[in-house]
Every structure is written in C-alpha cells, then in structure tokens.
Amino acid sequence: MILKTENIVKQFANHLALDNVSIEVPQASIYGLLGPNGAGKTTLIRIINQITAPDSGKVFFDGHELHGNDVYSIGYLPEERGLYKKMKVGEQAMYLARLKGLSKHDAEKSLKTWFEKFEVQAWWNKKVEELSKGMAQKIQFIVTILHKPKLLIFDEPFSGFDPINVNLLKNEILNLKKEGATIIFSTHNMASVEELCDYITLINKSKNVLSGQIDEIRHNYGDNIFEIDYRGETLKLKENLEGNYQILNDCEQKFFRKMTIKASEKENTNVLLSRIIRDVEIVNFREIIPSMNDIFIKLVEDDK
C-alpha cells in the first residue's frame, strides 16, 4: 500500500465533509476516486496533499505517517487550476518545479525534455495569458509529473482537452503507471474510469460507500443477466431453463436468435451452459456486467 487513510473525519463550519473515510491505494495502480459533486472527494485529496488537516484520522504514505517532506513525492493536479497570467511559461514551470524540490539544473533539463515530448517548446518564452486553455493544461500536467512523484493525484485531468490530447494524456498516465507510479484519479467520466482504473472508491455524502477492484465490483453488481445467441428450438431451450431462470427477452436475429435471461440467484455459469447446450447450438454467450456509470447512478440514487 502506497497510501492508506484511516477513519478520516473533517468537519467544516456547517457540514461534515468526510465521515470516517478509509481507503487503501495499492502501489503502481490507478485508483479512481468517484462521487457526486460535493461528496467530499476534493477535501480528501486536499488532506492527502496536506493542504488541510483532518479533524481526526490518520494518513499513511509509503509506510509512514504522512509528514511535510512527502510533498516532494506527491504530484497534484487540482481541478481548479491555473497559472500566473503575466509570467512566462518557462519561468513559471521552473518556479513550480523548484518548489517541488528540483534543483535549477534538473528542473531545466527535464522541463526541456517534456516540452519537446508535448511539442510545446515554442511556448517557453510566451506569457501564460497568450496560451489557450488546452495549452495551459498541458503545461500544468508537465509540471505535476516533472519531479517523478511516487503518487500522482489528478482531479478531472481531461477537462479542457480535445480528444487527441486526451489520448496523449491517457498514454502518459499509463506510462507513469508502468514506471511504478501510483495514480489517484478523480473524475466524473465513467468511461475513462473503466478504461484506466484498477481500483475505485465511491464517496457519497461524505462516506466511503464502495471500495475495491473495479472488475470485481462490476461483477458483484451484476444482476445475473445473461445473453445467449443460439440456433435451434426456442421451446426446448425455454423448457430447460424453467424454474431457476426468468426469460426477459427472445428475438429473431439475422442468423440466430438472441435470448436474455435473468437467474434468480448467483449461479455457476457452467451449470447454466450445460443446461443450454443440450438442445441448441450456442453462437455467443455472455454475462451482462453493469457499467460503472450504472453502478454510480444506482448507488447514489438509492442513497437519497
């Protein structure tokens, strides 16, 4: 575990922002922090960044309790992000990099490399106010990862980027993971969560309502619905499924028929298959797993 929070509580003047939140982030994983607006994600992220302190609870980083020098091992791209408008891009990037503990020389060297990689060398002497939003976002991303932190925290990293740059960023994030960095990733874009994340935590109304490996969660939240494409006699198939299964749908396709069924309880797929296989030819068989989007909406709606 690179990061662990234990029973974090944070109370603001008139609302409880975090109520006993514990998460465990495994090393070299991409960890999604999900939740509706105002759930407390940003507060948790700020606590991990030591921007605010919890009222109670502990944060452990890399095996020890979080302390001041850990800021050098963490990179943070906040959701509300900007740059000094009147300052030149290069100077500004140098300043931010040096605040993260890089020496002047190292900062300049790795900045040049990254500027080349992101094809932004030409902006070095431009003022930030001359850049577009997307350009500024690229600079911020570079500055966040420049000091090779062990833990990276991205809050809505893709907002403001065009699809080409979103891809560029995704690839960089996956590269960073490959190199051993751990990434905490907060977003409302569930498609990118499914695409990138290994683990997630869903925070709703200041509480951790769901944590775990993403595939496992999706599987567990399945409603035991299966889709069978087959050729053969529908009636016989229906007979075989009688009792334990509810048939939701059955329709003619071009070369086969498609049937959707719901099991009344969790069942071994092989048992189901053995029942079907007797009388019809199976073209395609799959379990319908809910998307993160469905799970998110279901959990948040149910909690109302």
Partner 1 sequence: MKKILLVIEREFITRVKKKSFIIMTILVPVLFAVLMIVPTLLSSVKSEKEKKIAVVDDLGLVANDIKNSGTVKFIIETRPLDSLKNNLAKDDYYAVLHVENNEENSIKNIRIYSEQALSADILNNISFQIKSIATQIQLKAYDIKPEELLLILNPNINIKTIRIDELGTEKESHTGALMAVAMVCGILIFLVVFMFGIQIMRSVIEEKSSRIIEIIISSIKPVQLMLGKIIGVALVVITQLIIWAILITVIFFVAQSQFADVISKITGYVQDVPMGTMLVSFILYLIFGYLLYASLYAIVGSAVDNETDTQQLQMIGTLPIMIGYFIMINVAMQPDSPLAFWGSMIPFTSPLVMLARIPFGVPLWEIILSLTILAATFILFTWIAARIYRVGILMYGKKASLKEIIKWLKYKQ
Interface residue list for partner 1 (CB under 8 A) = 13, 46, 49-53, 55, 68, 71, 74, 76-78, 80-87, 95-96, 98-100, 140, 143
* Least spacing, CB of residue 159 vs partner 1, in Å: 13
Interhelix angle 89-99/104-117, rounded to 10 degrees, is 130
Q: Report in angstroms how near the CB of residue 76 gets to partner 1 at its nearest.
A: 4
Separation between Cα atoms, residue 190 and residue 102, nearest integer Å: 35
Residue 223 CB, shortest distance to partner 1, in Å, is 41
- Using the minimum distance from each CB to partner 1, give the nearer residue, 25 or 202: 25
CB of 79 to partner 1, least distance (A): 8
Output the CA torsion 162→164→158→30 (10° steps): 170
Q: CB–CB of 107/97 below 8 Å?
A: yes
Q: Round to whole Å and give the CA distance between 280 and 233.
A: 7
- What DSSP state is assigned to residue 147? T
Q: Please, what is the minimum distance in Å from the beta carbon of residue 268 to partner 1?
A: 49
Contact 41, 186 (CB under 8 A): yes
Min dist CB 71 to partner 1, Å, is 5
Q: Which is nearer to partner 1, 81 or 218 (by Cβ)? A: 81
Angle, CA 97 vertex, CA 187 and CA 58 arms, to 5°: 55
Asked whether 23 and 29 are in contact (CB, 8 A), the reply is: no
Contact assessment for residue 127 and residue 86, using Cβ atoms and an 8 Å cutoff? yes
